[in-house]
Amino acid sequence: MKKLITALLILMLLVACNGEYSVRKKLTISIEKFKLDSTSIRAIEILSDSTVAYAGSIGDVGIISETGQLVKTQKIVTDSIVPHFRALAKNQNTLFALNIANPALLYKIDNNTATIVYKEVHEKVFYDSMQFFDEQHGIAVGDPTNNCLSIIITSDGGNTWEKISCENLPKIDDGEAAFAASNTNIAIVGTNAWIATGGVKARVFHTNDMGLTWNVYNTPIIQGKSTTGIYTIDFYNNNQGIICGGDYTNKFGGSANKSLTFDGGKTWEVVSENSLPNYVSCVQYIPNTEGKELISVSTNGIFYSNNAGRNWEKVSNEGFYAIRFVNSNNAWLSGNEVIAKMTIN
């Protein structure tokens, strides 16, 4: 009998320890802003518990501490070209910043030295987003210059980058491209990457081998003109993901602008149609909440979901372009002339 009671107690403890995450019903946040003059910031990367890196629209790259101090800052100019950065990524202690326009210039920034590691000259060049899979492998995506997305990859830690041939990529539709809204056109889990597009077509491109092979899937997100489509994508694991967007010329209009997948992006389900938020420039899963809690941001405000993205509640009227989480209670935000620290109280 004692053995049976002991076994039951152990089972009860295991059930208690392995119970489902209990979501927060309401979210109260506080925001501390740090002003940065004359720059628009759509690309931020968490460096540590107390620092964040940013890249802005006037060739500016910097690191900010949680007290708002500029730990490092530099302005990059190449042959009178002032890069407009909207893509930023890191591996180990090295930052990589990629500008949007022609010529495409990808800088490796190490010890305040900015070295060009990739250059592309084309009248249609426009790069949108960049991330690393691991310390050696990275990927960046841009609008098509031919009949496929512009995708460049590295396998040597970012020292060299190579553009994938259109022969090895799915064909793009006329009028399909990507949006450089928040450096979140790419979501990465392990060796998987998902790339979101918009415009006349809004689709999701997927690779499970860090860019060697690709599939493409249709989505029900609003599409059909140059300003509509997917602006941001995030994945909680290999199967569960979310895409959001809308139409930036009609940010308060109702549409199918939020969709979920539970099969790795093959199929998508519209959620919260014609409901807030009507436009999203960045969406992110909150860490350590089992894929149940998310935050989305745009110039329309900050919104919270505690049921995996199916329904949303507005938690702030403050407008931002991007958000990145440090942990489940702390995040950084960026916008026009501002970086901010957000605390969930």
Q: Which pLDDT value is given to residue 6?
A: 43
Whole-prediction pTM:
0.94
Q: Please name the residues in contact with 155: beta carbons below 8 A apart, sequence gap of 6 or more.
A: 136, 137
Cα–Cα distance between 131 and 154 in angstroms, integer? Answer: 10
Question: Is 326 in a helix, a strand, or coil?
Answer: strand
CA torsion angle 343 296 293 55 (round to 10): -60
- Of 92, 117, 94, the closest CA to residue 104 belongs to 117
- Of 31, 37, 36, 63, the closest CA to residue 50 belongs to 63
Backbone angles phi, psi at 296, to 5 degrees: -125, 150
Q: Which pLDDT value is given to residue 18?
A: 54
> pLDDT in tens for each of the 345 residues of the chain?
444 444 434 434 443 445 689 999 999 999 999 999 999 999 999 999 999 999 999 999 999 999 999 998 999 999 999 999 999 999 988 999 999 999 999 999 998 899 999 999 999 999 999 999 999 999 999 999 999 999 999 999 999 999 999 999 999 999 999 999 999 999 999 999 999 999 999 999 999 999 999 999 999 999 999 999 999 999 999 999 999 999 999 999 989 999 999 999 999 999 999 999 999 999 999 999 999 999 999 999 999 999 999 999 999 999 999 999 999 999 999 999 999 999 999
N- to C-terminal Cα distance for the chain? 47
Q: Are 242 and 271 within 8 A, CB to CB? A: no
- Of 318, 314, 246, the closest CA to residue 280 belongs to 246
Cα–Cα distance between 329 and 202 in angstroms, integer? Answer: 32
Q: Which CATH superfamily is domain 28-344 in?
A: YVTN repeat-like/Quinoprotein amine dehydrogenase (2.130.10.10)
- Listed by start position, the domains of the chain span 28-344
Backbone angles phi, psi at 318, to 5 degrees: -65, 135
Exposure string of 57-72, with b = 16+ CB inside 10 Å and e = fewer, is bbbbbbbbebeeeeee
Question: What is the pairing mode between strands 301-305 and 228-235?
Answer: unpaired
